[in-house]
Structure 1
Amino acid sequence: MNIMRNVLLLMLTTFFISTSYAQNTDVLNKYIVVLKPSTIPSAVASDIAQQANGRVGYIYENAIRGFSISIPEKALRGILNNPNVLYVEQDLPITAFLQTFPSGVERIFANDVTLSINNTDDQHVDADVAVLDTGIDIDHLDLNVVGGANCLSYSGKSPWNRTYYCDETKGYDDDHYHGTHVAGTIGALDNDFGVVGVAPGVRLWAVKVLDSAGSGSLAGIIAGIDWVVKQGNIEVINMSLGGSGQSNAMDSAIKAAFEAGVFVVVAAGNSNADSADFTPANAPFAFTVSALADFDGLEGGYGSATCRSDEDDTLANFSNWGTPVDIAAPGVCITSTYPIEKGSYGTISGTSMASPHVAGAAALLASKENEPTQIENILITKGNSNWVDTSPDGVKEPLLDIQSAAFVPTLIDVNNSNENAPPAAQFNANCIDLTCTFDASASTDSDGTIVSYEWNFGDYSSGSGDIVVHVYGAYASYNVTLTVTDDKGAVDVYENTVNVSESPAIVTESISMGKTWIARVSYSSGANISGTWSESGGSCTQTQCEIELAKKKASVVFTSDQNESVIIYKP
Structure 2
Amino acid sequence: MTPYSWHRPPFYPPPFFHRSLVNTQYVKKIIFIKPDVSPQESYYDLRMCGIRKLKYLKGLHAFIGNVPVHLRTDFQTHPVIFSVEEDIEVKIHVPIKGKIFSKPQVIPWGIKRIHADLAWPVTQGKGVRVAILDTGIAFDHPDLRPNVKGGINLLNRLLPPYDHNGHGTHVAGIVGAVNNRIGVVGAAPEVDLYAVKAFNKDGTAKLSDIIKGIDWCINNKINIINMSFGFNEPSSTFQEAVRRAHQAGIVMIAASGNKGTRGRLEYPAQFPETIAVTSINKEDKISDFSTIGPNVDLAAPGEKITSTWTNNSYRELSGTSMAVAHVTGVAALILSKYRLSSEELRHFLRQSAEPIKASSYAQGAGVVNASVLARAAVE
Shift of 1:190: 0.9
| AA matched with 2:138 | D
Shift of 1:356: 0.6
Give the structure-2-normalised TM-score: 0.83
Equivalent residues of 1:137, 1:180 under 8 A apart: yes
**Distance in structure 1 (CA, Å) of the matches to 2:116 and 2:163:** 31
Shift of 1:129: 0.5
C-alpha change, 1:379 and 1:395, in structure 2 (3 Å) is closer
**Distance in structure 2 (CA, Å) of the matches to 1:57 and 1:274:** 40
**Which residue of the partner structure matches residue 20 of structure 2?**
none
**Which residue of the partner structure matches residue 355 of structure 1?**
324
**Which residue of the partner structure matches residue 323 of structure 1?**
294
| AA matched with 1:152 | L
Equivalent residues of 2:165, 2:202 under 8 A apart: yes
1:127-156 Cα shifts (integer Å, max 9, x gaps): 111110011111111111000011223xxx
Shift of 1:94: 1.0
**Which residue of the partner structure matches residue 375 of structure 1?**
345
Equivalent residues of 2:143, 2:183 under 8 A apart: yes
Given the alignment of the two structures, is residue 87 of structure 1 paired with residue 83 of structure 2, yes or no? yes
| AA matched with 2:119 | T
**Distance in structure 2 (CA, Å) of the matches to 1:324 and 1:60:** 29
**Distance in structure 1 (CA, Å) of the matches to 2:331 and 2:125:** 15
Equivalences, count = 342
**Distance in structure 1 (CA, Å) of the matches to 2:193 and 2:128:** 9
1:507-542 Cα shifts (integer Å, max 9, x gaps): xxxxxxxxxxxxxxxxxxxxxxxxxxxxxxxxxxxx
C-alpha change, 1:260 and 1:346, in structure 2 (3 Å) is same
**Distance in structure 2 (CA, Å) of the matches to 1:188 and 1:219:** 29
1:237-276 Cα shifts (integer Å, max 9, x gaps): 1010111111222222222222222111111111122573
Instruction: Flag structure 1 segments of 5+ consecutive residues without an equivalent.
Output: 1-26, 154-166, 295-311, 409-480, 483-492, 496-571
Equivalent residues of 1:150, 1:208 under 8 A apart: yes
C-alpha change, 1:195 and 1:350, in structure 2 (3 Å) is same
**Distance in structure 1 (CA, Å) of the matches to 2:307 and 2:265:** 29
Which of 249, 254, 262 pairs up with 2:242?
254
Equivalent residues of 1:189, 1:195 under 8 A apart: yes
C-alpha change, 1:127 and 1:46, in structure 2 (3 Å) is same
For the aligned residue pairs, the C-alpha RMSD in angstroms reads: 2.5
Which of 60, 85, 93 pairs up with 2:57?
60
Shift of 1:32: 1.4
**Which residue of the partner structure matches residue 259 of structure 2?**
271
**Distance in structure 2 (CA, Å) of the matches to 1:404 and 1:332:** 24
Given the alignment of the two structures, is residue 402 of structure 1 paired with residue 374 of structure 2, yes or no? no
**Distance in structure 2 (CA, Å) of the matches to 1:370 and 1:192:** 32
Aligned ranges 1:139-288 → 2 under 5 Å: 139-143=140-144, 144-153=147-156, 167=157, 170-232=159-221, 234-274=222-262, 276=264, 278-288=266-276
Equivalent residues of 1:33, 1:66 under 8 A apart: yes
Give the structure-1-normalised TM-score: 0.56
**Which residue of the partner structure matches residue 567 of structure 1?**
none
Partner secondary structure for residue 29 of structure 1: strand
Partner secondary structure for residue 227 of structure 1: helix
Equivalent residues of 2:278, 2:362 under 8 A apart: no
Partner secondary structure for residue 208 of structure 2: helix
Shift of 1:43: 5.1
**Distance in structure 2 (CA, Å) of the matches to 1:96 and 1:185:** 16
| AA matched with 2:140 | D
| AA matched with 1:317 | D
Instruction: Flag structure 2 segments of 5+ consecutive residues without an equivalent.
Output: 1-24, 96-105
Equivalent residues of 1:275, 1:282 under 8 A apart: no
Shift of 1:184: 0.3
**Which residue of the partner structure matches residue 112 of structure 2?**
106
Which of 28, 31, 34 pairs up with 1:30?
28
Aligned ranges 1:171-570 → 2 under 5 Å: 171-232=160-221, 234-274=222-262, 276=264, 278-294=266-282, 312-340=283-311, 344-368=313-337, 369-389=339-359, 393=361, 396-405=364-373, 493=377, 495=379
1:441-489 Cα shifts (integer Å, max 9, x gaps): xxxxxxxxxxxxxxxxxxxxxxxxxxxxxxxxxxxxxxxx57xxxxxxx
**Distance in structure 1 (CA, Å) of the matches to 2:124 and 2:142:** 15
Equivalent residues of 2:301, 2:323 under 8 A apart: yes
1:414-463 Cα shifts (integer Å, max 9, x gaps): xxxxxxxxxxxxxxxxxxxxxxxxxxxxxxxxxxxxxxxxxxxxxxxxxx
C-alpha change, 1:95 and 1:49, in structure 2 (3 Å) is farther
Shift of 1:277: 5.4
**Which residue of the partner structure matches residue 73 of structure 2?**
77
Aligned ranges 1:11-30 → 2 under 5 Å: 29-30=27-28
1:274-299 Cα shifts (integer Å, max 9, x gaps): 573522111110111111122xxxxx
Please say which structure displays the higher CA radius of gyration: 1
**Which residue of the partner structure matches residue 130 of structure 2?**
129
Equivalent residues of 2:139, 2:148 under 8 A apart: yes
Given the alignment of the two structures, is residue 97 of structure 1 paired with residue 93 of structure 2, yes or no? yes
**Distance in structure 2 (CA, Å) of the matches to 1:42 and 1:87:** 18
Partner secondary structure for residue 278 of structure 1: coil
Equivalent residues of 1:58, 1:220 under 8 A apart: no
1:303-352 Cα shifts (integer Å, max 9, x gaps): xxxxxxxxx32111111111221111111111100122xx5211111111
What is the aligned-residue identity percentage? 34
**Distance in structure 1 (CA, Å) of the matches to 2:278 and 2:260:** 10
Partner secondary structure for residue 70 of structure 2: helix
Give the strand-richer structure, 1 or 2. 1
Equivalent residues of 2:300, 2:323 under 8 A apart: yes
Equivalent residues of 1:42, 1:59 under 8 A apart: no
C-alpha change, 1:394 and 1:38, in structure 2 (3 Å) is closer
C-alpha change, 1:227 and 1:192, in structure 2 (3 Å) is same
C-alpha change, 1:394 and 1:181, in structure 2 (3 Å) is closer
Equivalent residues of 2:124, 2:333 under 8 A apart: no
